[in-house]
């Protein structure tokens, strides 16, 4: 089950096809002296807890809960060199391909793998994750489950033919070119049973309720090195060591707090005041980062990670239903102006593909040849004229029915780059006669704004990783709760199941690129750039922090290895 891309409000591989392996992510010495407290800032608030759902699928939720969860949420992740590694507290070795037809993949549980309450990791935990992400109404009421992605859609069964051997059998005629990325443990199924959802495996209504049970409140039975003892959604989680943790590296701190602090200016100030140990901000400012140069213990690194910004159109808008208008808007927008003003002195690589970056051998630029993002106002006006658009005496754009074209632009209010982006494209679209309404939202409102489709045009980011095969379905399937623009394209719909219907990565990547090309042709989304990113921390408070542009947990990818200096 590949990891889900995470919505991120607010020059390593992202969305590539790396398939290198590493045995585990931990060191061998068990860490150093333990004790003390650490406070780490989460760059925004969050509105839900279960990352399998559309509302819980946010980067902030992922960061806030990384210390308690399996590696990479479901048991595997990538290191900074794009090597995939597996949670050695859960698994013994790496997955095995048992059969190609039907495709069967086996993972082996580590002897003694257990939850923090001492209950063993079991077959039902894998099935619970499968039912949460299958998109199948026979598994869970989909109006309740609202899965952020359907990574489990191709699975026919999960069984344990012998103790500790978990076998995933895929549906007849289906495969997964990225089968090596198999984990599948996230939520404790026995906790669902103990809280009134005993029949989750046989009753789709109960399973839907169980999914929401984990979405509404944080669970305290965990696999990671830390377990939560106090929390408030969108604000903080306080952790203590999990004394049943089965990994090599025990928790280095007696108390670890993940605390929401919005805005890079506030985050830098908190670090300088030594009230936090560090942060991965969701906005970027060299001016703010350079304030840390006066402190010998303050460290920061900048990089172009696998977080990519984009505009999404909502085709439910009465005007944006028209592909010609969407194409004209994307043609008029000038991405270079946005980057130059948002990131002076910092490179933000052009991104012309929804699934691959220039670092990938599969990268093809589709937005460039489509003339999107280049600020070509004359070409945009030609598109509109050809589609029957006119302007009135005040220069306002009118559609073929004579209605004035109006729509809004949504963005995270606390993010200065997002706000600036809105101001820039507002000025650009005035040249077409469009009065763009700028309408901000709070950081903790990102998930609900997207899941409720409360936007016409929106900017946000996806946090990617080196897998790609589940992303087309997540972004563009009409059944995906992450298809925030409500796209339902017959060409894309026919291609979607083909991405994972092969074991050949080259073939899968080619089909994914066909989907990206069609999404560009229909002007559904406009990739902007790989976002410049930064991490900063106090080296006198924590040791082991490092950049990882491949993990959706960013700098917390190796929180299990963090030590007290």
Distance of alpha carbon 466 from alpha carbon 407, whole angstroms: 35
DSSP sequence for 205-266: HHHHHHHHHHHHS--S--SSSEEEEEEETTTEEEEEE-TT--SSS--S-SEEEEEE--SHHH
Beta strand 397-398 with 390-391 is: antiparallel
Q: Which of 446, 47, 44 shows the shortest CA–CA distance to 283?
A: 44
Work out the number of other CB atoms within 10 angstroms of the CB of residue 522: 18
Residues of the chain with CATH 3.10.105.10: 305-531
Strands (E), 291-407: 298-313, 390-391, 397-398
Q: What is residue 310's three-state secondary structure?
A: strand
Residue 319, number of CB atoms within 10 A of its CB: 17
Question: Pairing state of beta strands 255-260 and 37-42?
Answer: parallel
| CA 158 remoteness from chain centre | 26
pLDDT digits (tens, 9 = 90+) for 5-56: 454 443 222 232 333 333 333 334 444 567 899 999 999 999 999 999 989 9
Per the structure block, which two tokens stand in for 47? 């509105």
Q: What is the C-alpha to C-alpha distance for residues 482 and 55, in angstroms, rounded to an integer? A: 9
**What is the spatial distance between Cα 256 and Cα 260, in angstroms, rounded to a whole number?**
13
Contact 397, 407 (CB under 8 A): no
The backbone region for 82, taken as left when phi is positive above 0, alpha when psi lies in -120 to 50, beta otherwise, is left
Task: Find, among 373, 397, 391, the residue nearest to 325 by Cα.
Answer: 397
Tokens 């690589």, located at residue: 349
Average pLDDT in the 200-224 region? 98
The per-residue pLDDT for range 466-503, each reduced to its tens digit, is 789 889 998 999 988 889 999 999 999 999 999 988 88
pTM of the model: 0.79
Q: 402: Cβ–Cβ under 8 A, 6 or more apart, which residues?
A: none
Task: Give me the phi and psi of 99, to 5 degrees please.
Answer: -155, 150
| Residues 333, 427: Cα–Cα separation, whole Å | 10
* Tens digit of each residue's pLDDT (9 = 90 or more) over 121-139: 999 999 999 999 999 999 9
Written as six digits, the tokens of 515 are 């989907």
- Are the C-beta atoms of residues 261 and 267 closer than 8 Å to each other? yes
Which whole number is the average pLDDT over 149-176?
Answer: 93
Grouping H, G, I as helix, E, B as strand and the rest as coil, residue 258 is strand
Predicted confidence at residue 359, as pLDDT, reads 80
Structure tokens at 385: 């004229």
8 A C-beta contact, residue 52 and residue 147: yes
CA distance 538 to 520: 43
Q: What is the mean pLDDT of residues 409-421?
A: 92
Place of tokens 């963005």: 411
Q: What is the pLDDT of residues 46-94, one digit of tens each?
A: 999 999 998 999 899 999 999 999 999 999 999 998 899 999 999 999 9
From start to end of 363-421, where are the E strands?
Answer: 390-391, 397-398, 408-412
Mean pLDDT calculated for residue range 367-379:
97
Question: Strand pairing partners for 229?
Answer: none
Helix axes 335-342, 416-430, angle to 10 degrees: 140
Please give the CATH topology (third level) of the domain spanning 305-531: Dipeptide-binding Protein; domain 3 (3.10.105)
Closest CA to 19 of 81, 98, 92: 81
Establish whether the linkage from the previous residue to 272 is cis, with ω within 30° of 0: no
Alpha-carbon distances of 200 from 143, 149, 193, 399, 445, rounded to whole Å: 16, 20, 8, 51, 30
What is the CATH architecture assignment of 22-261+534-561? 3-Layer(aba) Sandwich (3.40)
Q: Give the span between the Cα atoms of 7 and 369, in whole angstroms.
A: 27
Give backbone dihedrals phi and psi of 428, rounded to 5 degrees, phi first: -65, -40
What's the confidence (pLDDT) of residue 438? 98
Average pLDDT over residues 215-221: 98
What one-character DSSP code corresponds to residue 15?
Answer: S
What is d(CA 286, CA 141) in angstroms, rounded to the nearest whole number? 47
What are 271-295's pLDDT values in tens digits? 999 999 999 998 888 899 999 999 9
The two beta strands, 83-86 and 20-21, are parallel
Confidence of residue 304 (pLDDT cuts 50, 70, 90): confident
Q: CATH 3.40.190.10 occupies which residues in the chain?
A: 22-261+534-561
Positive or negative torsion for Cα 18, 20, 21, 26: negative
- Taken in order 139, 142, 146, 152, the sign of the CA dihedral is positive
In 10 A of CB 159, how many CB atoms?
14
Question: HSE of 193 in the Cβ direction (CA atoms, 13 Å)?
Answer: 11
* Burial of residue 526 (number of CB atoms within 10 Å: 0-12, 13-18, 19+): buried
Burial class (CB in 10 A: 0-12, 13-18, 19+), 23: exposed
Residue 331 three-state SS: helix
Average of pLDDT values for 98-107? 96
What is the rounded distance in angstroms from the CA atom of residue 65 to the CA atom of residue 524? 32
| DSSP code at position 313 | E
């Amino acid at each position: 089950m590949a990891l889900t891309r995470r919505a991120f409000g607010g020059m390593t591989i992202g969305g590539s096809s790396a398939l290198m392996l590493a045995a585990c992510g931990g060191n061998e010495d068990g860490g150093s002296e333990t004790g003390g407290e650490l406070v780490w800032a989460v760059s925004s608030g969050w509105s839900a807890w279960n990352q399998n759902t559309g509302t819980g699928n946010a980067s902030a939720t992922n960061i806030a809960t990384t210390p308690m969860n399996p590696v990479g949420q479901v048991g595997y992740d990538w290191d900074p060199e794009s090597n995939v590694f597996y949670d050695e507290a859960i698994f013994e070795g790496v997955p095995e391909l048992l059969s190609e037809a039907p495709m069967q993949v086996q993972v082996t549980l580590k002897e003694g793998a257990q939850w923090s309450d001492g209950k063993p990791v079991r077959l039902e935990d894998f099935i619970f994750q499968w039912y949460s992400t299958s998109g199948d109404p026979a598994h869970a009421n989909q109006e309740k489950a609202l899965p952020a992605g359907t990574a489990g859609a191709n699975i026919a069964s999960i069984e344990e033919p012998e103790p500790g051997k978990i076998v995933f059998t895929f549906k007849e005629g289906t495969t997964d070119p990225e089968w090596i990325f198999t984990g599948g443990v996230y939520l404790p199924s026995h906790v669902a049973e103990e809280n009134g959802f005993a029949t989750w495996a046989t009753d789709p209504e109960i399973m839907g309720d169980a999914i929401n049970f984990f979405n509404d409140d944080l669970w305290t039975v965990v696999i990671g090195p830390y377990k939560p003892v106090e929390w408030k959604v969108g604000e903080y989680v306080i952790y203590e060591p999990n004394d049943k943790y089965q990994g090599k590296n025990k928790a280095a701190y007696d108390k670890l707090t993940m605390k929401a602090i919005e805005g890079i200016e506030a985050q830098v100030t908190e670090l300088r005041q030594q009230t936090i140990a560090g942060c991965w901000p969701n906005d970027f400012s060299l001016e703010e980062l350079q304030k840390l140069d006066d402190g010998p213990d303050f460290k920061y690194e900048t990089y172009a990670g696998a977080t990519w910004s984009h505009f999404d159109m909502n085709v439910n808008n009465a005007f944006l239903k028209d592909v010609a208008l969407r194409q004209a808007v994307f043609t008029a927008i000038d991405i270079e102006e946005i980057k130059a003003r948002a990131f002076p002195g910092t490179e933000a690589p052009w991104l012309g593909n929804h699934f691959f970056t220039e670092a990938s051998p599969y990268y093809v630029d589709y937005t460039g040849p489509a003339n999107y993002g280049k600020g070509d106002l004359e070409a945009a006006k030609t598109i509109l004229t050809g589609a029957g658009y006119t302007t009135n005496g005040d220069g306002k754009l009118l559609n073929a029915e004579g209605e004035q074209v109006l729509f809004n632009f949504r963005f995270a209010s606390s993010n200065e780059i997002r706000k600036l982006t809105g101001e820039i494209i507002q000025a650009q679209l005035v040249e077409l006669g469009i009065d763009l309404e700028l309408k901000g939202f709070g950081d903790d409102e990102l998930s609900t704004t997207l899941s409720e489709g409360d936007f016409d045009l929106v900017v946000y980011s996806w946090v990617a990783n080196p897998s790609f095969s589940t992303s087309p379905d997540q972004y563009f399937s009409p059944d995906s709760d992450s298809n925030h623009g409500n796209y339902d394209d017959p060409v894309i719909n026919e291609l979607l199941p083909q991405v994972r219907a092969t074991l050949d990565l080259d073939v899968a990547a080619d089909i994914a690129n066909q989907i990206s090309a069609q999404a560009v042709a229909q002007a559904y989304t406009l990739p902007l750039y790989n976002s410049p990113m930064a991490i900063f921390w106090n080296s006198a408070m924590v040791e082991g922090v490092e950049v990882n542009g491949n993990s959706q947990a960013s700098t917390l990818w190796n929180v299990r290895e963090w030590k007290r200096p």
